[in-house]
A and B are shown apart, each in its own frame.
Chain A
Amino acid sequence: EIVMTQSPATLSMSPGERATLSCRASQSVSNNLAWYQQKPGQAPRLLISGASTRANGIPARFSGSGSGTEFTLTISSLQSEDFAVYYCQQYDNWSPFTFGPGTKVVVK
């Protein structure tokens, strides 16, 4: 099983700031990496797949990068609606697909 880790666990930011979230895989997943956003009481929302391709309707302030074992999600200028939990997920190893533990972005 591929183990995903995320850092930091909590990120304290102010609106308008640039946020950088990290995700690491225990072995190479190529570019088979997705990012999700989840708000309290809601289902997750797919932001990025293929490590860097934004999903339909996702604002350009969200960008993904990386390959192999190291990945980054960047939010260029935090909006009020971006304070949420973010999960990375690998889908290189067909089974099981695994998620990171999440990074919670909170208001400073």
Chain B
Amino acid sequence: EVQLVESGGGLVQPGGSLRLSCAASGFTFSTYWMSWVRQAPGKGLEWVANINPDGSEKYYLDSVKGRFTISRDNTKNSLYLQMNSLRIEDTAVYYCAKDGRTWPYWGQGTLVTVSS
């Protein structure tokens, strides 16, 4: 059974940093693209970033380029999202999702709140 478990969310001040993690199990993690998708409170879905199986290709939403970094550790079956220079508009539930373009499996999400 595919399982994705996010962690690392919390309250952070504008300009601060946070690192999200996603622990994957139930599939061969090292052979799949992985993605982060977010959802602001009461709003719709927004793709944030994705990464290819060996970590050599990464794509980002324009508004997070230069601030967020997606990475993975295939030895630990883990996906990460390093978020720097956080803005109030980055407040959202962040979901880890399996695959690169459509997402049949999602984690439960971790809430990131950017507020002073």
Contacts and interface: CB of A to CB of B under 8 A. Distances in A.
B107 A97 contact: no
Contact of B44 (A43, A95, A99): A99
The bracket for how many chain A residues form the interface is 20 to 34
Contacts of A44: 37, 45, 95, 103, 106
Given A43-B95, A43-B109, A101 B104 contact: no
Contact of B103 (A46, A94, A101, A102): A46
Nearest to A48: B102
Contacts of A46: 102-104
B51 to A, nearest CB: 12
Contact of A49 (B46, B59, B102, B107): B102
Nearest to A100: B44
B45 A36 contact: yes
A99 B45 CA distance: 6
Contacts of A89: 45, 47, 102
Nearest to A101: B44
A13 interface: no
Contact of B102 (A38, A91, A95, A102): A91
A98 B47 contact: yes
Contacts of A91: 101-102
Interface of A: 32, 34, 36, 38, 43-46, 49, 55-56, 87, 89, 91, 94-102
Interface of B: 37, 44-47, 59-62, 95, 101-104, 106-109
